[in-house]
Amino acid sequence: MTVSAPVLTRDVKRGDYLWLSDAMGEFTCDDKAEDKSCCWRQAAASRRLCRCVAGLRRTVPQADVRVIYNVRTPQDVIFADEWRNYPVTLVAENNVTEGFIAGRLTRELLAGVPDLASRTVMTCGPAPYMDWVEQEVKALGVTRFFKEKFFHPSSRSGDQRSEIHQTATGTRIYAPGWHHATGGAGKQ
């Protein structure tokens, strides 16, 4: 089965250059054995979240995990069949169908999560989305917050070439174009 994020199928065109890496944030449950977790995510990269939730369920069976999954439309839900196995709140901005809350993530929706302040909260999505979630949940008392990162600091140098850093081997490859995971594709 091939699964792709909308940014790949909508924005990336033949001839564009992509920057690929392993995850660089703290979006993993490997070192979090708390009984209560909450995950927010928007659009792409569901595989990581599915693995986190499944891993928590396996290693901490009594874990009370809550997931809020935000999408533009219900058709954007990746791994829809797998999400049926977990407590998930689905939020869609457009073309809402049964099982979805219409609109966007709001402070009221966040505040409705039972015992939110006592949970470990992890989020994945575009940087402005993650920043907003962080601000809101911290205002609601959350002290354990983690987010995914989509760029490597060394790729932000003044060099006109983009750096592709293969984190598994440390190999660096320079390319004349760029692609930012949250910003869209293009050529320089």
**Assigned CATH topology for domain 36-147:** Rossmann fold (3.40.50)
Per-position DSSP letters for the chain, written without gaps between them: -----HHHHHT--TT---------SS--STT---SEEEEEEESS-HHHHHHHHHHHHHHSTT-EEEEEEEESSGGG-TTHHHHTTS-EEEEESSS--TTEEES---HHHHHTSTTGGGSEEEEES-HHHHHHHHHHHHHTT--EEEE-----GGGGSS-SSEEEEETTTTEEEEESSEEETTTEEE--
Tens digit of each residue's pLDDT (9 = 90 or more) over 23-64? 555 555 555 555 565 565 555 556 666 777 777 777 777 878
Compute the distance between CA of residue 124 and CA of residue 47 in angstroms, rounded to an integer.
Answer: 11
pLDDT of residue 182: 38
pLDDT value at 113 more than 50: yes
Winning range, highest mean pLDDT, from 72-86, 132-146, 158-172: 132-146
Is the separation of the CB atoms in 29 and 48 below 8 Å? no
Q: Which of 57-61, 106-110, 143-147 has the lowest mean pLDDT?
A: 57-61
Query: HSE of 164 in the Cβ direction (CA atoms, 13 Å)?
Result: 12
Query: HSE of 143 in the Cβ direction (CA atoms, 13 Å)?
Result: 1
pLDDT value at 85 more than 70: yes
Domain limits, the chain: 6-21+151-186, 36-147
Q: What is the pTM of this model?
A: 0.62
pLDDT of residue 8: 60
pLDDT of residue 108: 94
pLDDT band at 176 (very low <50, low <70, confident <90, very high): very low
pLDDT value at 12 more than 50: yes
pLDDT of residue 164: 47
